[in-house]
Structure 1
């Protein structure tokens, strides 16, 4: 009697046609199932690699008690402030260095020198200057976020199509109108790329600053969990950081599509 079940090849083809979101869910589920199996069968010491079910149980306790939300709120606030300060400064300096040759030649040696210094190296100095309060952490995040955005903004503004600029000038566009209507839209892809890269940089520096000295935050929570050998809680903190980074990137992409619906429209249409 013939079977009514579709052949495996047809099922696999339907899975691929269902979209990247479903494939991402399947891949993520497979990863956590494999992790659970490896931990349960004790291929690795469960004290060092607890199964996901145990991590979920620890996360549930931390959420119910409000402790995880307190640390997460502190980290989000610091990352947001540092990212905003670094972004605004990076875009402003990028425009200035691209449009003002004298300023660019004067500032370029210093900017390139400071860019070569790893931002994490400033952690002790920031604590020495500002203490272990919020200012040192916001400063570190803003410092690290500044350089990728500055470089991308500089390149985008510098390499703006000269034909478009000449056409706008012929039509009577002034300096500010030229900048706002021609140069910045032309530089937008590189600026957005710099902003997206800096989201990950902000999280790295956030954890570094919180590990060095804090009384709240996800990085601080991971450090405290390590001191009492709560590996399950350490994984809760690590997965929280991963989820935070994923959500931040998703929100960024969504905001870009809402604010600039024409940006990337051709590539999205080609993938359909």
Structure 2
């Protein structure tokens, strides 16, 4: 019995260990060090996998020449505009589907029939409709963001505990206050899960759209240097995308912590 209690106590103490804030840095630094060693020892040809230091040098060269900032600016414009548009419409439509049985009955079949279609497959048709320019790229990103956000918003509203809604109504809350103070706070964790999922989708569609129909942007830059087999500059684009994904995720996590302090 004494050994069992001791084991449980040690197990609980292990689970309660606090992870220091620099732990993620250790993981990334270790990966980069291993990568550099592998390249320095010649285990992989530089054409296939350039060393991190070579990628850093290429990135600095592209930065000083203005090439990197030009492509990054074009991509940021598209992804920010497309993400905000798709997320805003997705939340509004998801709330409408969740609140209204009529909207659910009419809109859900349409939503779930369109969701499985690969959004990038629609790009030629969208270009035909909207012409060549920024609008088709922003639209395809917005479409990719819209579906995960609207589905998660709809699920979040539907899964709010009905007991809480009935309690609010019993204490005299009107319809607007029930939505604002009970349903929305209850659905927000699921909505943020959809927003985070949509962030990754937006990056995928950004790169695909820029590779197909853009002269500037990170995706276009990656395709250009891939065709020229300049892998150092190609890897600069991939690492920039990785950093964009990390920043998007961290930004959404910060916003979630601010809006959901109880979580």
* Structure 1 segment 153-232 matched on structure 2, within 5 A: 153-232=153-232
Superposition RMSD in Å: 1.6
Against the structure 1 CA distance between its residues 165 and 259, is the aligned structure 2 distance closer, same or farther, given a 3 Å change threshold? closer
Query: 1:100 and 1:86 mapped to 2: Cα distance?
Result: 21
Q: Which residue of 2 aligns with 1:110?
A: 110
Shift of residue 204, structure 1, vs aligned partner: 0.8
Q: Which residue of 1 aligns with 2:73?
A: 73
Mapped contact 2:79–2:138 kept (Cα < 8 A): yes
- 1:100-133 deviation per Cα after TM superposition (whole angstroms, max 9, x unaligned): 1112111222111100112122122222222331
Mapped contact 1:40–1:46 kept (Cα < 8 A): no
Note if 1:39 corresponds to 2:39: yes
Does 221-230 or 124-133 show the bigger shift? 124-133
- 1:212-260 deviation per Cα after TM superposition (whole angstroms, max 9, x unaligned): 1112110011111112221100000000000111111112112222333
Query: 1:94 and 1:18 mapped to 2: Cα distance?
Result: 37
Shift of residue 75, structure 1, vs aligned partner: 0.9
Q: Which residue of 2 aligns with 1:125?
A: 125
SS in 1 for 2:173: coil
Does 201-210 or 156-165 show the bigger shift? 156-165
TM-score (norm 1): 0.87
Q: Which residue of 2 aligns with 1:234?
A: 234
- 1:164-190 deviation per Cα after TM superposition (whole angstroms, max 9, x unaligned): 111211222222221111111111110
Query: 1:187 and 1:25 mapped to 2: Cα distance?
Result: 33
Q: Which residue of 1 aligns with 2:85?
A: 85
Q: Which residue of 2 aligns with 1:253?
A: 253
Q: Which residue of 2 aligns with 1:21?
A: 21
SS in 1 for 2:124: helix
Does 236-245 or 106-115 show the bigger shift? 106-115
Against the structure 1 CA distance between its residues 232 and 18, is the aligned structure 2 distance closer, same or farther, given a 3 Å change threshold? farther
Shift of residue 143, structure 1, vs aligned partner: 0.4
Query: 1:20 and 1:202 mapped to 2: Cα distance?
Result: 31
Does 206-215 or 163-172 show the bigger shift? 163-172
Query: 2:20 and 2:244 mapped to 1: Cα distance?
Result: 20
Query: 1:23 and 1:243 mapped to 2: Cα distance?
Result: 18
Shift of residue 151, structure 1, vs aligned partner: 1.0
Report how many aligned residue pairs link the two structures. Answer: 248
Give the unaligned 5+ runs of structure 2: 1-16
TM-score (norm 2): 0.89
